[in-house]
Structure 1
Amino acid sequence: MGSMTDSTSQVPAEDSAPASMAERVEGRSRRPDSDAFREFMGSGWGPRDASLPEREAVAGFLPARAAAAGEPFPGERLVVPAGTYKVRNNDCTYRFRAYSAFAHLSGLGAEKEPDSVLVLEPRADGPHEAVLFFKPRASRTSQEFYADARYGEFWVGARPSLDEVSAATGLRCEHIDTLRDALAKDAGQVGLRVVRGVDEQVERMVNEVRSEAGLADGEDARGADEEFEERLSEIRLRKDPFEIGELTRAVEVTRAGFDDILRALPRAVGHRRGERVIEGAFGAVAREEGNGLGYDTIAAAGDHANTLHWIDNDGPVHEGDLVLVDAGVEVDSLYTADITRTLPVSGRFTEVQARVYQAVLDACEAALARANEPGTRFRDVHDAAMRVIAARLEEWGLLPVSAEEALSPAGQQHRRWMPHGTSHHLGLDVHDCAQARREMYQDALLEPGMCFTIEPGLYFRADDMMVPEEYRGIGVRIEDDVVVGDDGRVVRLSESIPRTIADVEAWIASAQGR
């Protein structure tokens, strides 16, 4: 039906002045404005449930996250907006999804809470305290209750109260209307940093307070603000037990989505846009069992698999094709899986497809084995996979130089057929912790709690005259999600999702009742 607007306001007089653009949008509504209507709308409602929600599992981890985020910034007030709605078209917005650092520090998932702000308040006798500022539900005697399409209960359902969110999260909660006063308290004696680019109004408010207090603001404060954003990214490099549990759940639901893809493959073959059939099968599970997709699904059949970010998904699926599916469910806590499987549409790999697939699988295994060696750095995982890829390309006679030469910094010819990285961190973002410094990410030693992907591939485009014709149009990627355990061992969270040639073929047969 789309987003509605209130359709009950009075029609303006014909001789009134021309309406502004904003007024024209609002002019579609015809809401009565009489005292009698307002009184009638505010009366006759039953009592609300006065019970408070139970404390959520994530609540016990929030104080440690706040302490870690604020540790480098004693005596400074740190501001993390949730973000706001983004316009899709005209007066329709996309579903709200909070800025990831806000979700991490507040514990709020799903579509909670737009236009909110989390403030890390400095304390002289301990770590920062996380204080959540948001707009609670209004009284049913207020005009907001029935007339406000952004917050009104008639439009978007009952918003939580301050006490309800505090009970669920363990955080101190305050009305968003008090935010400016809270930011201005002792400003000058207390520093102020904000995450930029998330909420323009909050950013503007922070800069006004900084300017009035004689603090650096605007571009003069950019370095300090970005240092804070960097910190928020780096504290998520190592996941706590709650996060690992949510990632495990995301992988489990993603497996269910792939099961439905296999059942839909026969229908995809007969559809003019079979890739959309695959995308839709997975998307239904993502929405039914989680918050939705962690990112746009790649459902790439045949040569489309050689376009790394193929998300149009508008092509046919033919018997004999491979279809590369890169998909992940984002669960309600906003943690996402990221899994890729390359599937033979007919249920069986051809000899050439199997040759390419096995090479990629061997690269996966080499990367995991390297991750389990003591003293491994994040970048070493990629290097281990590339050694296998280069060796196979040399064996098949595709490299213009030896594998050893290709692997040298001055070579890299093998990257023609494997142009992307092998791993990235995973969590609230599919490419998690992207603002972290290189020494904390690529150059860092693997440590317990790190969750990341292993995803080598081989891509032979249909128009690649550097490879024999039998390889052209074949694209293979295999991607698993892994975690470093407390004992330092790296294990696949996605172990239950078939990946060997024999297991993939058996998986398809079982799903389709063959």
Structure 2
Amino acid sequence: MMRQCTRPCRSFHIAGISALDLATTNTTIKCSGILNLSRTRGIVPIYRRQCHPESRGRRGYAVQTGFGQPTFETRPHILKEGELTPGISALEYHFRRHKLIEQLPVGAAAILVGNELKYRSGAVFYEFHQNPDFFYLSGFNEPRAVMVIEKPFENDYTFHLYVQPKDERKELWEGPRTGVDGALEMFNADEAGDIKFIRKYLDDIIARAQSIYMDIAPGNSEIASFFHPHVRRGTMEVNILELIKHHKKETTPRPLTRIVQSLRAVKSEAELKVMQKAGKISGRAITRAYGRRFAKEADLNAYLDYAFRIGGCEKSAYVPVVAGGKNALGIHYTRNDDILNDGEMVLIDAGGQYGGYCADISRAWPVNGKFTEPQKDLYHAVLNVQKECIKLATTSNSLESIHRSSVDLFAVELRNIGFDTSLSEINSILYPHYVGHHLGLDVHDCPEQPRRQNLKSGNVITIEPGIYVPVDNPKFPKHFRGIGIRIEDNVYIHDDSPIVTSGEAAKEIKDVEDACAAAWKDI
């Protein structure tokens, strides 16, 4: 079988352009050579890519018409030419894989297992969400897939992608699958195969590998029974650890997640643009929500999800917090089913997802559009702390040092408005959460990154100080009790000049009140 090759060519001497030039410019050289999709290994089919050097430099297009996710040919309103996912090109995914193998020794094989579809009840399933490490390295967004990246030589890798095959009967019910040919054609795998033969494929790979990098992920399917030794057995004869032991490798694979997350934590220019778009759409939706009157938390919740989607996001990035009045004292209150009362504030923590990347924004405003004096004083205290912490979001500081500063700043701000409280009470009662976290493909992105490590240029973090005054604690001024305020922005670390990507969400008191007074007629 022959296919046009759309992969970004990995030759380091194409037209005199070096690997360094490719990595540091916007060059989009692609190999449009013919793919020789040869089948080997007898009864176990495997498909390999063979690119003809003389045809490199021309851009190929998809021959297959049905894929399990958007392509430029099938969804040009979502993807631009050359992109695998919104804003991220096939070439960038290649460079991500190349950066990973730079962290691995020659002879290593990195194995990543994609997520599976999860079911609520019977045949009713949850919306699929891919393993973010898997998505980061491939852009592949379908369930039941396994990726292997081998490093046979220095500065080179072999990309294997094992997926569900095309199945006319199942696709009639579930929609198109990308299939094995599509894994080669669109996702630039060097070798692809049917996921049901994964044990046999990995048998060969593990046998020749000198070291294995993989993180065991729990699950309850046949595939999971192979990759997780504590899950009940399916039809797989052995699990992955037994296979590794059989070939006399390390008994336990070396951890991979920490390495991948160190790459994910530093965003590229393309990722920044995607996150800026997610932040812009989400911030604009939140500002427009100020000008509408909602009777219930559920109404505001529904509006935000609608506004994120109609503005261009794929969906909400996570289950939002929409907390009226004292409900805002619950940091992650998500029932969102109460009444919004005149004279109280509403706190929201919400954001849209675009291209797989999350926005994460918190704002609080008066339900009737006008701050009372106590609300204004407490809001101003939180806003002052938040703005000072954003200034500290540089490569000279860590999340840990910014958090310590936020506590000290709150001690001053709260004292100025009449609180008589200790640092211990601030930490344990009034401000019990951390100042922020990394943000990206996950809302709480890259949790393996140490909080005490200085921030790096390219990190994206949240800055989200908040104050939550208990209803029934006489220690605190009565007129502040029952008020919860959190102000959260998304911040791109760029040396000593942090860039806020969620600035479309108004937060100055005058701007909030003006937006509340505006009669927005559209999204």
Residues 137-196 of structure 1: per-residue CA shift (max 9 Å, x gap): 23xxxxxx22xxxxx111111212444444433333512244333312253441223221
Residue 240 (structure 2) pairs with residue 206 (structure 1)? yes
Aligned residues: 426
Residue 178 (structure 2) pairs with residue 160 (structure 1)? yes
Q: Cα distance, 1:449 vs. partner?
A: 0.6
Which of residues 308, 312, 335 is equivalent to 1:312? 335
Alignment of 1:342-353 (within 5 A): 342-353=364-375
Which of residues 291, 304, 324 is equivalent to 1:301? 324
Residues 266-293 of structure 1: per-residue CA shift (max 9 Å, x gap): 2x22xxxx01111111122344433322
CA gap of 1:400–1:340, structure 2 versus 1, over 3 A, is closer
SS in structure 1 of the partner of residue 518 of structure 2: helix
| Matched-pair contact (CA < 8 Å) for 1:390–1:414 | no
Q: Cα distance, 1:132 vs. partner?
A: 1.9
Query: What's the counterpart of residue 273 of structure 2?
Result: 245
Q: Cα distance, 1:101 vs. partner?
A: 0.4
SS in structure 2 of the partner of residue 181 of structure 1: helix
Query: What's the counterpart of residue 91 of structure 2?
Result: 60
Which of residues 192, 195, 198 is equivalent to 2:212? 192
Q: Aligned partners of 1:381, 1:470: CA distance in 2, in Å?
A: 29
SS in structure 2 of the partner of residue 185 of structure 1: helix
Query: What's the counterpart of residue 396 of structure 2?
Result: 375
Residues 364-416 of structure 1: per-residue CA shift (max 9 Å, x gap): 111012224x6222322222322221112223342345xxxx3xxxx464542
Q: Aligned partners of 2:163, 2:276: CA distance in 1, in Å?
A: 30
Task: Report the residue type matching 1:182 in the other structure.
Answer: Y
| Matched-pair contact (CA < 8 Å) for 2:434–2:465 | yes
Which of residues 441, 457, 460 is equivalent to 1:428? 441
CA gap of 1:165–1:322, structure 2 versus 1, over 3 A, is same
Which of residues 146, 158, 161 is equivalent to 1:129? 158
Structure with bigger gyration radius: 1
Task: Report the residue type matching 2:439 in the other structure.
Answer: L
Q: Cα distance, 1:255 vs. partner?
A: 2.3
Q: Aligned partners of 2:399, 2:421: CA distance in 1, in Å?
A: 29
CA gap of 1:416–1:399, structure 2 versus 1, over 3 A, is farther
Q: Aligned partners of 2:248, 2:367: CA distance in 1, in Å?
A: 65
| Matched-pair contact (CA < 8 Å) for 2:377–2:417 | no
Runs of 4+ in 1 over 6 A off after TM superposition: none
Query: What's the counterpart of residue 511 of structure 2?
Result: 503
| Matched-pair contact (CA < 8 Å) for 1:52–1:164 | no
Q: Cα distance, 1:431 vs. partner?
A: 0.4
Query: What's the counterpart of residue 145 of structure 2?
Result: 116
CA gap of 1:396–1:160, structure 2 versus 1, over 3 A, is same
Query: What's the counterpart of residue 7 of structure 1?
Result: none
Q: Aligned partners of 2:402, 2:389: CA distance in 1, in Å?
A: 5
Bigger mean CA offset, 284-293 vs 308-317 = 284-293
Q: Aligned partners of 1:189, 1:158: CA distance in 2, in Å?
A: 35
Residues 294-341 of structure 1: per-residue CA shift (max 9 Å, x gap): 11110000000111010001110011111000001112x211000011
Q: Aligned partners of 1:171, 1:241: CA distance in 2, in Å?
A: 24
The sequence identity of aligned pairs, in percent, is 26
Gap regions ≥5 residues in structure 1 = 1-46, 139-144, 147-151
Residues 56-96 of structure 1: per-residue CA shift (max 9 Å, x gap): 14311122222333334322211111110112112322111
Q: Aligned partners of 1:230, 1:177: CA distance in 2, in Å?
A: 28
Q: Aligned partners of 1:107, 1:49: CA distance in 2, in Å?
A: 18
CA gap of 1:165–1:245, structure 2 versus 1, over 3 A, is farther
Q: Aligned partners of 2:142, 2:345: CA distance in 1, in Å?
A: 42
Query: What's the counterpart of residue 405 of structure 2?
Result: 384
Alignment of 1:198-277 (within 5 A): 198-199=218-219, 200-204=224-228, 205-217=239-251, 221=252, 224-225=253-254, 227-259=255-287, 261-263=289-291, 265-266=292-293, 268-269=294-295, 274-277=296-299
CA gap of 1:284–1:127, structure 2 versus 1, over 3 A, is same
Residues 6-47 of structure 1: per-residue CA shift (max 9 Å, x gap): xxxxxxxxxxxxxxxxxxxxxxxxxxxxxxxxxxxxxxxxx9
Task: Report the residue type matching 1:230 in the other structure.
Answer: R
Q: Aligned partners of 1:488, 1:395: CA distance in 2, in Å?
A: 29
| Matched-pair contact (CA < 8 Å) for 1:194–1:203 | no
Q: Aligned partners of 2:330, 2:304: CA distance in 1, in Å?
A: 20
CA gap of 1:198–1:60, structure 2 versus 1, over 3 A, is farther
Which of residues 387, 409, 429 is equivalent to 1:365? 387
Q: Cα distance, 1:512 vs. partner?
A: 4.5
SS in structure 1 of the partner of residue 150 of structure 2: strand
Residue 485 (structure 2) pairs with residue 473 (structure 1)? no
Alignment of 1:12-161 (within 5 A): 49=65, 53=73, 54-56=81-83, 57-74=88-105, 75-108=107-140, 112-138=141-167, 145-146=168-169, 152-161=170-179
Which of residues 356, 361, 369 is equivalent to 1:339? 361
CA gap of 1:206–1:347, structure 2 versus 1, over 3 A, is same
CA gap of 1:247–1:118, structure 2 versus 1, over 3 A, is same
CA gap of 1:330–1:48, structure 2 versus 1, over 3 A, is closer
Which of residues 184, 189, 193 is equivalent to 1:171? 189
Q: Aligned partners of 2:469, 2:425: CA distance in 1, in Å?
A: 16
Task: Report the residue type matching 1:113 in the other structure.
Answer: E
Q: Cα distance, 1:489 vs. partner?
A: 1.5
CA gap of 1:298–1:49, structure 2 versus 1, over 3 A, is closer
CA gap of 1:196–1:283, structure 2 versus 1, over 3 A, is same
CA gap of 1:412–1:301, structure 2 versus 1, over 3 A, is closer
Residue 225 (structure 2) pairs with residue 183 (structure 1)? no
Q: Cα distance, 1:259 vs. partner?
A: 4.3
Gap regions ≥5 residues in structure 2 = 1-62, 74-80, 229-238
CA gap of 1:49–1:422, structure 2 versus 1, over 3 A, is closer
Query: What's the counterpart of residue 281 of structure 1?
Result: 303
Q: Cα distance, 1:480 vs. partner?
A: 0.3
SS in structure 1 of the partner of residue 161 of structure 2: strand
Query: What's the counterpart of residue 462 of structure 1?
Result: 471
TM-score (norm 2): 0.76
| Matched-pair contact (CA < 8 Å) for 2:290–2:516 | yes
Residue 417 (structure 2) pairs with residue 396 (structure 1)? yes
Task: Report the residue type matching 1:258 in the other structure.
Answer: I
Q: Cα distance, 1:420 vs. partner?
A: 0.5
